[in-house]
Structure 1
């Protein structure tokens, strides 16, 4: 399911990395926040920086209209080169239980805090039909895989469901690296 698009603002790591971690997530999902805060940073440090892993984000808004608007907001930030900064700021406020209140006003505040340079354009992009369709396309892709909840991950072709411990991701990535080396 990896796209390996060179200029994808929602991806981290080299386009030719031997392993791709695809993450289907919702900004209002507390377990997605847990992954973002606790698991993703060590994976980036250990595997992305070495060139072994590429992380590709996919939107799977499952918690209502605010989830969809937040997904569009992430893409709007990405249009200005600030997707991952927005992503980190949005998940920094995610509660450990329940769902973050991500109103339009709060999303604009998160964009400002994450360094999105043109907030007027950001706000205009929140109403972008093109960005809404991109979010819907990700959700349809997830549905085609049978993913109904967040977070859902693919490590190459290996699915991981839910907020798994770091060691689970490391084991899956290491196995995918070993398999890639043997091919």
Structure 2
């Protein structure tokens, strides 16, 4: 497994989520190492704790991690309804081969099956861990997003062979052009601006804070999943989370109705 280079815009200081999150972070970090090791023939079929999805809808879910979903309707790096019952948060690096595999093979199917029907929202978090070119691509993705072309940039940067060409600034600019970014001068200014650096650093700090040590790492309604797992792993997690959300919403509606009846009886 390639050793991630130290980033200049983020630290590995854990966020203060409480003792239970230390356990979740440990699982995610360990599974992330195993599931993304490029020399392992079983990298995409990891059965580590953070990759397993139990039939118990509460198993492996950490409410504090679920709260990391931003649900901002104006988030340029997200797709899907802000009020979708399930939120998948993806922490990824454009230089990561397994991130590219997920982006090409699995994510489009999840979007078609779950985002388009309103069940799922996907929120991207830039997690550059392989040095300067990772940072360039991350800030480029953010800058493309400011012109509503994040997902087009995402597709171009994760296309077959794109990673091998590197992410020097001229290459990132070419990807922006390929993605249909109209104002390339603004793009380059945004790429090197403080807002881009701050946004990437914020995402990076969050990833380190939950114990992610490599990419891709995911949270699905507070359930950690590490690595480019088979589609079935994500499908089961999404459907379990959606069912749990429906049950919770139903219980809340019943409770509200009961309280309303009590108030009427007074």
TM range (shorter): over 0.9
**Residue number in structure 2 paired with 1:66:** 133
- SS of the aligned residue for 1:182 comes to helix
Separation (CA, whole Å) in 1 of partners of 2:213 and 2:71: 24
2:110 aligned to which of 43, 52, 56: 43
Separation (CA, whole Å) in 1 of partners of 2:83 and 2:149: 22
- SS of the aligned residue for 1:54 comes to strand
**Residue number in structure 1 paired with 2:243:** 178
1:96-151 CA-partner distances (Å, limit 9, x unpaired): xx865111011000000110000011111111111111101100001110011100
- SS of the aligned residue for 1:92 comes to coil
2:95 aligned to which of 5, 11, 28: 28
1:48-90 CA-partner distances (Å, limit 9, x unpaired): 0000000000011011110011100001000001000000110
**Residue number in structure 1 paired with 2:225:** 160
Report the structure, 1 or 2, having the larger strand content.
Answer: 1
Runs of 4+ in 1 over 6 A off after TM superposition: none
- SS of the aligned residue for 1:153 comes to strand
The aligned length equals 181
TM-score normalized by structure 2?
0.67
Q: Which runs of 5+ in 1 are unaligned?
A: none
2:197 aligned to which of 125, 132, 142: 132
What displacement does 1:93 show?
3.9
Separation (CA, whole Å) in 2 of partners of 1:15 and 1:79: 18
Structure exhibiting the larger radius of gyration computed from Cα positions: 2
1:145 aligns to 2:207 (yes or no): no
What's the C-alpha RMSD, in Å, of the aligned pairs? 1.2
Structure 1 residues 42 and 113: alpha-carbon distance in aligned structure 2, compared to 1, 3 A threshold: same
TM-score normalized by structure 1?
0.96
